[in-house]
Structure 1
Amino acid sequence: MIQDQAASALAANPTVEPHDAVGGPPAFPVGFDFGAASPPATAPSECIKAKRIICVDKTTYTATVYEAGKPQWSFYVRPGDARGTRYQTGEGYGHITHKSRNHVSSIYGTPMPYAMFIAWDNSPATGEAFHLSYQFQSEGYYGASHGCMGVGTEAAIKRLWDTSPKGTRVFVYRT
């Protein structure tokens, strides 16, 4: 799987900044569509019991929007886990606290269009967000975020933005 190859490359040399793309990013398979992932065959009960929730499987790098327990649509994300535990994307329940359409990271100075920030129920830390990731588009899974969940297509992040008001529940897990 393309995501596993990239994570292994980063793990082998963690001193390399992922955005340097040493050796070049792996090519996406023919027909790869950032905004058209398959929903999981089985979902955690947290996803199918909710009225509306965004569930992210960090094993398959897939986010799925559920309504009334049924998957509505899925898209690919790039979390920060490939960088190691320091930048690992949170897990468990959270909710969208605020949105910033033309956000720029105050820490890294990088654009984060359509940023939708998440507060985790089990941690007071904030700063992780869903957002459009130009690096995901250009580097694929070779790169990694600093904890955010990068979305590789404007169509998918805009759809998520338009349909996910503040307060929308998020559940991040591993299969």
Structure 2
Amino acid sequence: MDFSNNSENSSFGSSNDTKVLNNMLAREILKRQALENKVTTLERQIQALVTDVAATKTTYMTLQHATEGVSLRQNNMAASLQTITQRVDSENDNIKQRLRYLSNITSKLQTSGVPTPQASVAFLARVTTDNPTQHGPTVSFEMTDFNLGNGYFPSWGYSCHL
């Protein structure tokens, strides 16, 4: 039996095994580096998403605050408009009362036989649309609240000479 060949075979086999193991180790190292690169890329993407979420939250909160401000301003404007409307309605009622009072006084004066220096004419008429009917200098109103001295004729309108 020749032992020298055995040791040659054994060293040759050992050398091949080492090469195979080194190749396997190199492949595993490359796989590990590829995985580490993927992990690094995913970590960057996650960080970018976290930053985007934080920016989105900030934008959302800013918009929510702005919306609350707009709602508050709308409520304030609605309350102001309601107050103004109440004042206008109240003033219109006062004017109607004064005109009725004047009409009563005029009627009493006319029925009592006391001569009046001049016939009084006053009317309160209004339109309920944005575009009143107008033909030349004549304007036709849609509602007549008061017509002292019958100076306004709804069928004719009111003619004003400017």
Fold shared by both chains (TM-score > 0.5):
no
Quick check: which one's helix share is greater? Answer: 2
Looking at CA atoms only, which structure, 1 or 2, has the larger radius of gyration? Answer: 2
TM-score, length-scaled by structure 2: 0.23
